[in-house]
Structures are given as structure tokens and as C-alpha cells.
Amino acid sequence: MPAGKPAGVRCAQLTADNRCAIFGDPRRPAVCASLQPEPAMCGDDHVHALAWLTALETATQAD
Ligand code: SF4
């Protein structure tokens, strides 16, 4: 996404089955490549992962 991905907006590179379409591609943003996922973040399904991401966005949003 040329201007960056706003919080709460689905990434344009995310496929219908929630995979990164540019995984392993040098065009993938550095922040994505540097993320170290862990079981607490991912949980057992995408519902848990989205709730985790939403909580992070809420906790770090500017006033
Ligand atoms: S890893 Fe980054 S580029 Fe790929 S889908 Fe997720 S946010 Fe988008």
C-alpha cells in the first residue's frame, strides 16, 4: 500500500485465505518481515489473531 496501511484497514496484500501475497518478496514491508509471531499472538485461529491485533492498535493509537 503506497501510502502505508492505516490501522483497522485490511492489507491489500492479504489473500482471501488470510495469507500474505508477497511473503518472501523484497517489496514486503520491513515491519512485516521483522515481526516475530508467537503463540500468544496467533492463538488457534484468525479470530484470536485479529482480536490481538485490534488490542495492540487500540493500546498504541495516538490521541
Ligand atoms: S505481512 Fe505485511 S504485506 Fe503481508 S499481508 Fe501482512 S501486513 Fe500485508
pLDDT for res 47: 92
Ligand 1 environment, Cβ below 6 A: 11, 13-14, 20, 22, 28-29, 32
Taking the centre of ligand 1 as the mean of its atom positions, its distance from the CA of residue 63, in whole angstroms, is 25
Average pLDDT, the chain: 90
* Domain boundaries defined on the chain: 10-63
Q: How far apart are CA 36 and CA 11, in angstroms?
A: 18
Taking the centre of ligand 1 as the mean of its atom positions, its distance from the CA of residue 25, in whole angstroms, is 11
Exposure class string for 18-32: b at 16+ Cβ within 10 A, else e: eeeeeeeeeeeeeee
Q: Is the pLDDT of residue 62 over 90?
A: no
pTM of the full structure: 0.77
Which atom belonging to ligand 1 lies closest to the Cα atom of 28? 3
Structure confidence by residue, pLDDT tens digits, 4-30: 888 778 899 999 998 999 999 999 999
